Amino acid sequence: MDGNVYQIVEFQHVKPGKGAAFVRTKIRNVITGGVVEKTFSPNEKYPNAYVERKDMEYLYNDGDLYYFMDLETYENLPIGAGILPDSFKFVKENEQVKVLSYKGNVFGVEAPNFVELVITNTEPGFKGDTAQGGTKPATLETGAQVKVPLFIEEGEKIRIDTRTGEYMERA
């Protein structure tokens, strides 16, 4: 649209009592990252943008640059920290991710939906603390913070949903 590539963040189909229906959207420019609200009529058409999704392995970070290796050519690709999503804090080194690009310009990285990580630091839980299942903060091996149930202890491996950042279960 207008020479730019957008990704739909959220949409709502509205059918007012009188007048034509329309679609209210929040769209994100994949190159700049800017989010705008726009209203479309249902008969508007736009061409699809072909986004390349390539499997790559996260190697390491060096300051604000994060290095990824192409699994086919073994070439390293540096990506700036500003492109990485919040869910990337759950990705550890040597983990596979999807790197998104449009016409050779990288605009995003998709972390796996679920990861298994070891808890490096948390307070010990006490028996009988609550009947409803309270939570406590825990630090993971990647440095990310999550809330876990009181019975989880340091050194345990847990599964995290990277889309919500929530504890799922013991691994």
pTM over 0.75: no
pLDDT at 4: 82
Least confident of 80-94, 106-120, 124-138, 142-156: 124-138
- Looking at the chain, the number of H-run helices and the number of E-run strands are 0, 13
Cα separation, 117 vs 95, in Å, equals 11
Ranges of each domain in the chain: 6-40, 52-110, 114-170
Reported as type and span, the H/E element at residue 23 is strand 22-29
Give Cβ neighbours of residue 24 (< 8 Å, ≥ 6 apart).
11, 12, 14, 37, 39
Place of tokens 């691994």: 171
**19's tokens:** 């007048």
The third-level CATH classification (topology) of the domain covering 6-40 is SH3 type barrels. (2.30.30)
pLDDT at 59: 92
pLDDT at 56: 92
Count of CB atoms situated within 10 Å of the CB of 70: 14
Count of CB atoms situated within 10 Å of the CB of 131: 6
**13's tokens:** 């189909």
DSSP state of 125: P
**What is the CATH code of the structural domain delimited by 114-170?**
2.40.50.140
Q: Do domains 6-40 and 114-170 have the same CATH topology?
A: no
- Output the average pLDDT for the chain: 85
**What is the CATH code of the structural domain delimited by 52-110?**
2.40.50.140
pLDDT at 67: 92
Residue 130 has pLDDT above 80, yes or no: no
Cα separation, 60 vs 58, in Å, equals 6
